[in-house]
Amino acid sequence: MRFPTDLHLRDLAGRIHWPHGSHAKGATPITHHHTSDEDAEVAKATLYVSTVTLVVLLVVLAAIAFGQEAMHWLGVH
C-alpha cells in the first residue's frame, strides 16, 4: 500500500485533535495549536480524573469484597 506524497501527519493529527472542527465539505483543517501551559493543564486534569477513577474503583471493589465476607460471616449462601 502506498501513501500519497501530499499526506502530512501533522494535518491529520490536527483533524482528530481537540477541539474538533467542522466536517462540512470544504472545511479548512484545524490550525489551532495548544501552548505548553494548555497542554500542562490537560495533563493535570487527565491525571486528576484518572486518580479519582482509580480511587472510586478501589472503594467499590473493597465494598464488594467486604459485602461478600459479611455474607459469609452471616451464613448467607
Taking the model in full, what pTM does it have?
A: 0.52
37 falls in which pLDDT band (50, 70, 90)? confident
Q: What is the mean pLDDT of the chain?
A: 78
State the pLDDT at residue 38.
Answer: 86
35 falls in which pLDDT band (50, 70, 90)? confident
Share of the chain above pLDDT 90, in %: 43
**Assigned C-alpha cell, 66:** 467486604
Q: What is the DSSP string of 3-29?
A: --TT--HHHHHHHHSSSP---STTPPP
State the pLDDT at residue 70.
Answer: 93
